Amino acid sequence: MSKPQFVYVTYIETTPEKLWEALTSSEFTRQYWFGAEVRSDWKVGSPFALLLDGEITDSGEILEADAPRRLSYSFKHQKFEELRGEPVTRVLFTLEPFDSVTRLTVLHDGFIEGGKYLGAVSSGWPAILSQLKTLLETGKLLNVTRAALNKGFDPK
C-alpha cells in the first residue's frame, strides 16, 4: 500500500524562471504565503526555514535544487504542538514549460497513516498556491486572510 501524500497541479501564466524566483525569494513568499518567508541559500544540503512573524514555523534541508526545474526540501513542522511529533516530510516542486504557461506540480509526502499533518497540508497548500498563481498572473492577491487559513491548519 502506498503512503499518504498530497499532490497539487496547476498551470500558471508565467515562465519557469519567474516561478522559481517566486518560490525561493523571501520578499515574494511573504506576499502570497500569508506573511511567511522562506530562508535558504538553495544549495543541496543547506538548511531551509519558513518564518512567520520572525518565528520559525517549519524547517528542513534542501534535498534538490535544479533551477528552474525542480526544488525539494525536507519539511518539519514546529508551530502546532499536535504536529511536532509527526515525521519529517518532503516537499517537491516540479516546474515544466507547457505551451505558453508553466505547469507546477507540488508533491508533499512522507506522512504517517492516520496522522494529522496531511489534513493540515491539504487545506494549506491549495490556498497558498492559489495566491501564488493569482499574484503571478494579475499582480494582486485573493481576499483570503491568514486567520482563515489558520482555521484550516489548526489540527485540534
Three-class SS state of 108: strand
pLDDT number for residue 104: 98
Q: What is the CATH number of the domain that holds 116?
A: 3.30.530.20
* Per-residue pLDDT tens over the stretch 35-72: 999 999 999 999 999 999 999 999 999 999 999 999 99
Whole-structure pTM value = 0.92
pLDDT confidence of residue 131: 95
Model confidence pLDDT, tens digit, residues 82-98: 888 899 999 999 999 99
Q: How many CB atoms lie within 10 A of CB 1?
A: 4
pLDDT digits (tens, 9 = 90+) for 97-155: 999 999 999 999 999 998 889 988 998 999 999 999 999 999 999 987 766 666 655 54
Banded pLDDT at 156 (limits 50, 70, 90):
very low
Helix (H) or strand (E) holding 155: none
More confident residue, 81 or 9: 9
Q: How many domains does the chain have?
A: 1
Confidence (pLDDT) at 95: 98
**Short-list 86, 90, 83, 125, CA closest to 110:** 90
pLDDT at 47: 98
Parent domain of 31: 5-153
Calculate the alpha carbon distances from 105 to 58, 93, 123, 156 in Å.
21, 6, 16, 29
pLDDT at residue 155, rounded to an integer: 47
- Whole-angstrom Cα distance, residue 98 to residue 92? 18
89-98 sheet: strands from edge to edge: 5-12, 101-109, 89-98, 70-77, 55-66, 47-52, 37-39
pLDDT tens digits along 5-45: 999 999 999 999 999 999 999 999 999 999 999 999 999 99
Instruction: Give 1's contacts (C-beta < 8 A, 6+ positions apart).
Output: none
